[in-house]
Amino acid sequence: MIRQSTSTISTTWQEFGSALRTWRERHELSLRDLAGRIRWDYSLIAKWEQGKNRPPVEAITALDAELGAGGELVTRALRAAMAESDRLRRGTVQANASTRDEGEDVERRRLMRNAAAVAAVGALAPVLTSLTDALAITRRPLPGASVSRGMIDDWEDAADVHEQRARFDPPAVVLAALAVDYTDMAPHLGRAQPDAVQRDLSHAAARHAALIGGKWFDLGNRREAQRWWAQARQLSERSGDDLLASWLRGWEAGYRLYDQGEDLDSVLLVAGEARRLAGDAPSAPLVAALATEAMILSMVGRHAEAITALRRTEETYERLPSSGGSDQGRTLWYDRTLIYTLAGDAKRAEDARHTAESLYPAGHRTATLLALYGAALHARTDPAEGTRRGLRLLDAIPPERRDTRVISAAHLIIDALPEKARALSSARELRALAVSGRSA
């Protein structure tokens, strides 16, 4: 058995339990009442309230949502889980490494996973606070200059890392990491810097701001996404780099086209602005802008125009310098999949999807979207199997990874169904899961 110190570990979980009890009693719910609502046994909830057992992250998020705690329960659980894992890292589990059994190692790994999972959700409240403060700092003129070339290069490198991890990690995890770097940059952005330094600093900050906007969008917070995309636009203008401005505007449009409530005509204007900023010379930002225009056209049902725009995208890609198009080529196979799926061109859509799937590793967000597009295509000819496949795919995705783009892909399956097939039980279940964004 692992010998745990009850002084800190139990205290932090007892604080969580006390808060849980307060919220339950505030709603005048018995343990059995609450258990029925979140589908966990009432005896377990009693132990959580007493601080005797650690609730899993799924229960924590369900409790917070059901009781309308506004993130308080998640944040308290985060503190408890992180305090516990930190004690383990510092060796406060009293066991000799040479005699520690497999069960102890399993327990330690479980605690670390639990802390990370809770952090993915619970970090949002403090992250929002730090980002809001950082945004305010950048708008206050501060005297002096304090940034070095090494710092700017480090932030540019960090943007590369964040961009890569955003393709695999849950949005909340990426957002928390971005908050650290942007908060470091913020004071320097508000100070007077030499022109060249200011341009380079703004370049790095613009990339971070655009990513921050994207992650807020993935998490369903449109207001924060818009604030940070506006910040990215302002910073990219200060950088004086039109290709960067084009890239980030195209990126913004590429996110917004997945918003079920978005005015896609307005998004098409943003993509057009990205294309104009890129100029006429072949470049990765120009290819991205053209591809985004093609996808938006397909989203609004203008399929002939979308395919014409796709052809122009492909021609521009073929004229790219050999060193600048490897990732863009992979992305183009994804674009083709979506455009042909929406147009109902089954053969081209399937060919494109099979090629794209061979280019994206397991766990990549795009691989998940491609699988959902396959279900959408299948739903056109076999509605029952297509919706069941969509249900299996969506239910297998952890809730923290069901971002806005994943939910949009699930809606495509529903939209692909013939009218009569929308009454299928599997279609209704898929619609409910897509609306809630999490497993029922």
CA–CA–CA angle 79, 122, 210 (5° rounding): 135
Rg (CA), the chain: 24
Residues 124/219, Cβ–Cβ less than 8 Å? yes
Cα–Cα dist 411/390, whole Å: 10
- β-pair partners for 191: 142
- What CA–CA distances, in Å, run from 151 to 146, 163, 197, 229, 339? 10, 18, 11, 23, 41
Q: Which two tokens stand for residue 315?
A: 């021609």
- Please check whether residue 403 is in contact with residue 218, taking contact to mean a CB–CB distance below 8 angstroms: yes
Question: Distance (Å, rounded) from C-alpha 198 to C-alpha 191?
Answer: 9
Q: What is residue 301's three-state secondary structure?
A: coil
In whole angstroms, give the CA distance from residue 90 to residue 82: 12
pLDDT at residue 83, as a whole number:
61
372: nearest Cα among 356, 355, 387: 387
What integer pLDDT is reported at residue 104 of this predicted model?
Answer: 45
Q: Which residues contact 403 (CB under 8 A, 6 or more apart)?
A: 171, 218, 219, 220, 365
Please name each of the domains of the chain with its CATH number. Answer: 9-121 (1.10.260.40), 123-239 (no CATH)
pTM for the complete prediction?
A: 0.66
pLDDT 10s per residue in the chain (440 long)? 333 444 444 577 888 899 999 999 999 999 999 998 888 888 999 999 998 888 876 688 788 778 987 667 876 776 676 566 545 444 433 444 444 444 444 444 444 444 444 444 444 445 555 555 565 555 443 335 567 787 888 889 989 988 888 888 878 778 877 887 888 888 888 888 888 889 999 999 999 999 999 988 888 888 889 999 999 999 999 999 999 999 999 999 999 988 888 899 999 999 999 999 999 999 999 999 999 999 999 999 999 999 999 999 999 999 988 755 567 788 999 999 999 988 889 899 999 999 998 988 877 888 888 988 888 888 888 988 888 888 888 888 777 677 888 888 888 888 888 888 888 888 888 887 776 554 33
Which ranges of 146-221 does DSSP label H, i.e. alpha helix? Answer: 149-165, 171-189, 195-218
Return the amino acid letter for 87: R
Q: What is the DSSP secondary-structure string of 245-286?
A: HHHHHHHHHHHHTT-TTS-HHHHHHHHHHHHHHH-SS--HHH
Considering Cα of 35, then 40, then 46, then 50, what sign does the dihedral take? negative
What six digits make up the tokens of 66? Answer: 């059901």
Q: Please state, in angstroms and as integers, the Cα–Cα distance from residue 339 to each residue in 274, 315, 349, 377, 407, following that order.
A: 20, 16, 8, 11, 18
What DSSP character marks residue 168? T
pLDDT digits (tens, 9 = 90+) for 342-377: 888 989 999 999 999 898 887 788 888 898 888 888
